[in-house]
Structure 1
Amino acid sequence: MSVVPIIGEGEFEIDDEEHDVLPESDEDNEEEEDPEAPQRMRTHIRRGDGHLYRDQTFFNGVAFKDRVLDYALRTRCNIRQYRYDKDKLGFECAGLGENDEACGWKIYASILPKDKIWRVRLFVDNHTCEVNGECEMVKVPVIARLFVNKIREEPAYYMPMKIEELIMANWSISVSRPQCQAGRNKALKWIKSEHDQQFARLKDYAAEIVESNPGSSVEVDTFQNDEGQDVFNRIYICFDALRNTWKESCRPLIGLDGCFLKERIKGQLLVALGRDANNAIYPIAWAVVKVENNENWQWFMQKLKVDLDLKDGDNYIAVSDRSPGLIRAIKIELPKMEHRKCVRHIYGNLKKKHGNKKQMKSYIWSVAWSYNEAKYQQNLDRLSCYDTGVYTDVMATNPRSWCRAFFKLGNYCEDVENNSTESFNSSINKARENHLCICSKQ
């Protein structure tokens, strides 16, 4: 059965000792981005230098044609193809010089009889034409190739008018709006085909993981649509080596978080991370789902509970931003697990409501770092005197769930924030831009 993609329809180490130092990576310390930087990144399209010479060799005709295209884009000459044989390709300049004389530039390559390598047999590097902003090589397929990666990243930005503008800005070549529309449509078809192929390979990918990593846990969850096709719903992966190492060598602590995938077909990545004896991040398991909701978090926690043999969660710690779906899943699947809140998320929510008050951050972190109940109460009293509104909102978050004074004693950790998962999510930014199979591998 074919697999139909539907995700998103339509479209490491922590310092535990210096608790007297406020964290420096909160939102109020972030530098403002240069508004022109994204524009520069968007307009840059990397191509080769287009260097050509006689007896130059290529692995195939496609590589030769691509080099000629690079030459045409660099020189802005009106290059066109005049020979299309399977074993021979020829290009010439269609430009005109003085008195409408034809330009003499020409290049021709063919396959060598013995080793099947393409070699440039003829190269007349003599332009007598004037550049006029035309290039017959820049047709619909070429426009699609030039912009397919950009369209994959930002389809809403690279519309026909923008593509037309960029071709003129980068190469001073004039193309029509309908050409750009057709090129964009062709690129979108290529991208859709890539996604369909990736989802169709998911079950093969899962089988390969189990074969190459015996004992690993992989589940591809699908459902049938009205046409009887298997439609992707979610996937869970836990490698046996990661699972066993976590059980034997890591702290009994699990950081849980979800982050968005950045590909054309949207979804969310759920991750479970451990912490080794050196407080370094250790990945345990992950899943890709359509959305971060009650059902998917419970499904993920069910798989994690079985794979890690967590039983009812006693003697284990979970640290997260405590999203409603995750809170519910842990209460159902692991009722005895201690579930800590992340103070960074608490502070971030308070800052949205109360603004960036100068002393609010230090008061909240003092409460979080309280090392006994007396100190905890003392810091709460100080917060109440500072601002009763902030105090009321802090109490509504149940500060005992993110204060060090009430954490379990043992070989866990004293972290009051979920920095490890946030750092992990940042470290896989590039992987999150790829297709599902490639993202899982990375």
Structure 2
Amino acid sequence: MEHLIKSKYEQVGQTYRLRDIIEDVRRDYGVNISYGQAYRAKEYGLVYARGSPEGSHAIVRAYGETLKFTNPGTIFEGFLNCIRPVIVVDGTHLHEKYKGILLIATCIDGNNNIYHTAFSIVDGENDASWTWFMTHLKVLIGDVPNLVIISDRHILIAKAVVSIFPDAFHGLCIYHIWNNLVDKFNNKDINPHFYLAAKAYRMFDFQMYWPKLHQYLGVTAYLEEIGLQRWARIYQIHCKYDKMTTDIVEYLNRVLKNARELPITKLLEHICEWLQGYIEIRLLNGNKSLFGYVNPTSWLRKFGCFLLNSVSAPLFIAEETSIQLHMKLQQEPGG
């Protein structure tokens, strides 16, 4: 039976419930099956369509080496040339059999587009994992003047930032602080005053909104304990930027919501395909803006969302400022 239903699980995010299996088998074959039989058929169908979690974990190292071998042009250049020196980091839970955490670092480029910088799959959010991730991120981008790293209040992220990026400014996501204020003080009237104080560019404006927070017992003491420079733009050290939340990482988490159920190597393939499609869209939009045309390749007619299965290319964009991606498009005949 699993051979009959495996096609139902080949697409990421496709929903095929147990009762759907039971109804389809009854309608197509005139056979009544139990929920237990449907569950076993689903489990085997997932393995046939996506591979087993055990097998995926067993080949992940070989998969990484193969990726390097088959993509010899994989490079990462141009960070200081075209990217704002603000990195947003966060972690999100995986939902496959062995769980784990997907760590993400994302930036914003000069056109206010999301620039995906680094991904890592680790066993959990612990000191070793975040230190390892930050260490490799430092190798990737080098020494960046006036660097700002934004995250939630996770203590392990703070420790890793201090250890690996001692000269960077570590800001906190004001949206997370906003939610913490609601949970701690149970009063949503605090939030408008906090938001205006956090976003103020001038000290005059900050001093106008800050006293309004004094009317709520304990709020100003709580915010001062966090550190005014960690969330109030007017107190930020070095350069001041308008990116003060982790929303660009949350966006990526939503994009990968269904893919986080995949075995680890399938997840990595999905991320690569999504990134390649995302970069290709930006290239076409850039060509349209610069030259007034869009290259009508065959994939554009089939591109439903972000995935681009026909591209074989490096994981990271290279030489973005000169619009060179070192990609190889496999066009259909006549495309």
Corresponding letter in the other structure for 1:262: H
| Runs of 4 or more above 4 Å deviation | 146-150, 163-166, 168-174, 189-193
1:175 aligns with 2:32: yes
Aligned position for 2:333: none
Q: Measure the CA separation in 2 of the matches of 1:148 and 1:403.
A: 49
1:288 aligns with 2:121: yes
Task: Assess if the C-alpha contact under 8 Å between 1:246 and 1:274 holds in 2.
Answer: no
Q: Measure the CA separation in 2 of the matches of 1:211 and 1:321.
A: 36
Distance 1:165-1:202 versus aligned 2 partners, 3 A rule: closer
Aligned position for 2:293: none
| Cα offsets for 1:289-327 (capped at 9, x unmatched) | 1111211001100111112113xx652110111311110
1:302 aligns with 2:135: yes
SS of match in other structure, 1:257: strand
Task: Assess if the C-alpha contact under 8 Å between 1:153 and 1:263 holds in 2.
Answer: no
- Note the C-alpha offset of 1:428: 2.5
Which consecutive unaligned segments of at least 5 residues does structure 1 have?
Answer: 1-140, 217-239
Which consecutive unaligned segments of at least 5 residues does structure 2 have?
Answer: 272-335
Corresponding letter in the other structure for 1:423: Y
Q: Measure the CA separation in 1 of the matches of 2:173 and 2:264.
A: 29
Q: Measure the CA separation in 2 of the matches of 1:351 and 1:249.
A: 37
Higher strand share: 1
1:348 aligns with 2:176: no
1:325 aligns with 2:185: no
- Note the C-alpha offset of 1:145: 3.5
TM-score, structure 2 length as denominator?
A: 0.68
* Among 67, 76, 82, the residue aligned to 1:209: 67
Identity of aligned pairs, percent? 24
Higher helix share: 2
| Cα offsets for 1:115-163 (capped at 9, x unmatched) | xxxxxxxxxxxxxxxxxxxxxxxxxx3598379849x999xx97xxxx4
Task: Assess if the C-alpha contact under 8 Å between 2:173 and 2:244 holds in 1.
Answer: yes
SS of match in other structure, 1:262: coil
SS of match in other structure, 1:297: helix
1:379 aligns with 2:237: no
Q: Measure the CA separation in 1 of the matches of 2:134 and 2:52.
A: 31
Distance 1:331-1:263 versus aligned 2 partners, 3 A rule: same
Matching of residues 149-228 of structure 1 within 5 Å: 149=9, 163=18, 167=22, 171=26, 175=32, 177=34, 180-185=35-40, 187-188=42-43, 191=46, 194-214=52-72, 216=74
Task: Assess if the C-alpha contact under 8 Å between 1:294 and 1:324 holds in 2.
Answer: no
Q: Measure the CA separation in 2 of the matches of 1:277 and 1:363.
A: 30
Aligned position for 1:361: 191
Distance 1:405-1:170 versus aligned 2 partners, 3 A rule: farther
SS of match in other structure, 1:303: helix
Aligned position for 1:113: none
Task: Assess if the C-alpha contact under 8 Å between 2:2 and 2:41 holds in 1.
Answer: no
SS of match in other structure, 1:244: coil
- Note the C-alpha offset of 1:363: 0.6
Q: Measure the CA separation in 1 of the matches of 2:244 and 2:110.
A: 18
Q: Which has the higher contact order (CA 8 A, sep 6+)?
A: 2
Which has the higher Rg, Structure 1 or Structure 2? 1
